[in-house]
Amino acid sequence: MKKAQLVFVPNPEVGHLFSTIEFANLLLERDERLSIVILVMKALKESTITLASHANISFIELPHVEPPPMELMSKSPEKYLTNFIESHKNCVQEAIVNQILPNSPKLLGLVVDLFCTTMIDVANELGLPSYLYFTCNAAVLSFTLYLLDRHDRVGREFDESESESESIIQGYINPVPAKIFPTSLFSKDGYIAMVNHLKRFKETKGILVNSFLDLESRAVSSLSTQDFPLVYTVGPLINQKIQNNIQSDKREQHEEIMKWLDEQAPSSVVFLCFGSLGSFGVHQLKEIAMGLETSGHRFLWSIRIASEEGESIDYKTVLPACFLDRTKGIGFICGWAPQVDVLAHKAVGGFVSHCGWNSILESLWFGVPILTWPLYGEQQLNAFYMVKELGLAFELRLDSRRDRGDIVKGDEIAKAVKCLMEEDSEVRKRVKEMSLKSRKALIAGGSSYGSVGEWIETMLISN
């Protein structure tokens, strides 16, 4: 049977690419009438994703394109990424025209990442509809509408005088403080890059959000009342097949971590992991170490060390004297960690997280409460949303920022970890309840199951 085809153009960053692949897998498992091609840009950094392991998806690796000068990265990461992706526009069009269209009886359209809106031009030139895959949550999507409305009125980036203000935003119950807005919105280059992306959202035929209705009913409802494309909740999309994607050099580390967890009591371990880009300086690492030791709880700590010179630093040389001896058997320290497998383990009872949306969805899926420690991007908004709006996380910090050099003291960490690990807390109970709802969303009769089906049928009928 000839299948209708979708082309995905994802952001090459690991978190976005993983999420895109999971969405593609979901679609293929859901409807045998579909086939999917993912156009992959050469990652800006080494990726841990093994593309060949996803046998049901076709991948086309795009030709190498020279990245923008690194000075732009330090000035505005958002502008740097935008320029890098935009430089692939011709490669994307050539891949579709020369490799996909000749072999596709029915091309349904392009599904682009929120940072890949420039590819809407390619879809338009080829007479194809475009759809947006939004890897963040529905509340952040409603925040983008607030930004566009403000831009129409003000027309410039935020300044420091506005950092202490609060805004009423549809989709949120509480006023949202500007001090938790993404840092990029306070710089001209970052602000312009983001606004240009957001303006193009309205050109798409639909927006697919990695979330589910039971979690974000208010935010989703607010989007339906505005001049905006239809929003489809399609999540939670998490990578539950992590073992198949682990590079060979990490398999031994994976086995050691899981063996250590197997030896721990249920819900006794606090897991600390801050995403693929989450790193700390030496001073902060020492404070974390002191906080963990003072808390008295067992811990699994994934460490990445920030280094201005870029050299590799052995964490054993920067932790407090004798810390490793004093915590031997109580803690396990590693570099990389298989986050999904760790959160799924019965020994893990709490998660200290940077609050990336993928990590939040994974924690909810496995019923593990989060302690919020946002670092960059929209993570401060996510932390605020989980603590203040949904009551599904514990607060360590809501507005901490890596680029500001904020330091969280050890005694503050110890106190927060003790709250996180309380067995009968109301937050823990709510997280367990949401875990069940997250799983129901994806099965027949669930909200995301229905939303995905509606989108597929709409695409097939309109084409």
CATH number for position 313: 3.40.50.2000
Higher pLDDT, 309 or 304: 304
Three-state SS for 11?
A: coil
Kindly report the average pLDDT of the chain as a whole number: 91
Residue 394 lies in a domain: yes
| Position 391 pLDDT exceeds 70 | yes
Mean pLDDT within 304-311: 61
pLDDT band at 244 (very low <50, low <70, confident <90, very high): very low
Statement to judge: residues 123 and 255 lie in one domain: no
Residues facing 138 on adjacent strands = none
Higher pLDDT, 56 or 158: 158
Structural contact between residues 134 and 114, judged by C-beta atoms closer than 8 angstroms = yes
Mean pLDDT within 376-397: 97
Per-residue pLDDT, 46: 47
Task: Using DSSP bridges, classify how beta strands 231-233 and 269-273 pair: parallel, antiparallel or unpaired.
Answer: unpaired
Residue 243 lies in a domain: no
Statement to judge: residues 139 and 23 lie in one domain: yes
Per-residue pLDDT, 247: 59
Statement to judge: residues 51 and 117 lie in one domain: yes
Per-residue pLDDT, 379: 96
| Position 48 pLDDT exceeds 60 | no
Residue 242 lies in a domain: no
Q: How many domains does the chain have?
A: 2
For residues 72 and 12, give the distance between their C-alpha atoms in angstroms, rounded to a whole number.
18
Statement to judge: residues 19 and 126 lie in one domain: yes
Statement to judge: residues 20 and 131 lie in one domain: yes
Residue found under tokens 């899926």: 365
Tell me the per-residue pLDDT of 310-343, one tens digit each, with 9 for 90 and over: 445 677 788 888 898 999 989 999 988 999 999 9
Calculate helix-pair angle for 426-441, 447-462, nearest 10 degrees: 30
Statement to judge: residues 104 and 161 lie in one domain: yes
Residue 339 lies in a domain: yes
Statement to judge: residues 256 and 392 lie in one domain: yes
Per-residue pLDDT, 308: 53
Residue 207 lies in a domain: yes
Residue found under tokens 């993928």: 358
The count of C-alpha atoms lying within 13 angstroms of the C-alpha of 16, restricted to the half-sphere facing its C-beta, is 21
| Position 375 pLDDT exceeds 50 | yes
What is the DSSP code string of 217-257? HHHHHHHHTSSS--EEE--------GGGG--HHHHHHHHHH
Per-residue pLDDT, 449: 98
Statement to judge: residues 60 and 125 lie in one domain: yes
Statement to judge: residues 264 and 292 lie in one domain: yes
Per-residue pLDDT, 305: 78
For residues 276 and 160, give the distance between their C-alpha atoms in angstroms, rounded to a whole number.
29
In whole angstroms, how far apart are CA 372 and each of 180, 396, 424? 13, 5, 19
Query: What's the gap between Cα 88 and its chain centre?
Result: 23
| Position 416 pLDDT exceeds 50 | yes
In whole angstroms, how far apart are CA 26 and each of 21, 35, 354, 443? 9, 11, 26, 11
By CB atoms closer than 10 A (0-12, 13-18, 19+), residue 240 is middle
Residues 6+ apart with CB under 8 A from 56: 25, 28
Per-residue pLDDT, 389: 97
Least confident of 50-64, 136-150, 384-398: 50-64
Statement to judge: residues 26 and 51 lie in one domain: yes
End-to-end CA distance of the chain: 17
Mean pLDDT within 23-44: 91
Per-residue pLDDT, 229: 94
Task: Using DSSP bridges, classify how beta strands 269-273 and 298-302 pair: parallel, antiparallel or unpaired.
Answer: parallel
Best mean pLDDT range from 247-256, 313-322, 442-451: 442-451
Structural contact between residues 340 and 240, judged by C-beta atoms closer than 8 angstroms = yes
Tell me the per-residue pLDDT of 75-119, one tens digit each, with 9 for 90 and over: 899 999 999 999 999 999 999 999 999 988 899 999 999 999 999
Higher pLDDT, 47 or 188: 188
pLDDT band at 306 (very low <50, low <70, confident <90, very high): low
pLDDT above 70: percentage of residues in the chain: 93
Indicate the residue type of 429. K
Residue found under tokens 């937050």: 427
Mean pLDDT within 260-283: 93
Per-residue pLDDT, 451: 98
**Strands across the sheet containing 331-334:** 331-334, 298-302, 269-273, 348-353, 370-372, 393-395
Tell me the per-residue pLDDT of 418-431, one tens digit each, with 9 for 90 and over: 999 999 999 999 99
- The pTM of the full predicted model, rounded to 2 decimals, is 0.94
Tell me the per-residue pLDDT of 177-226, one tens digit each, with 9 for 90 and over: 999 999 999 999 999 999 999 999 999 999 999 999 999 999 999 998 77
Per-residue pLDDT, 313: 64
Mean pLDDT within 14-30: 92
Statement to judge: residues 170 and 61 lie in one domain: yes
Q: Which domain holds residue 341?
A: 249-438
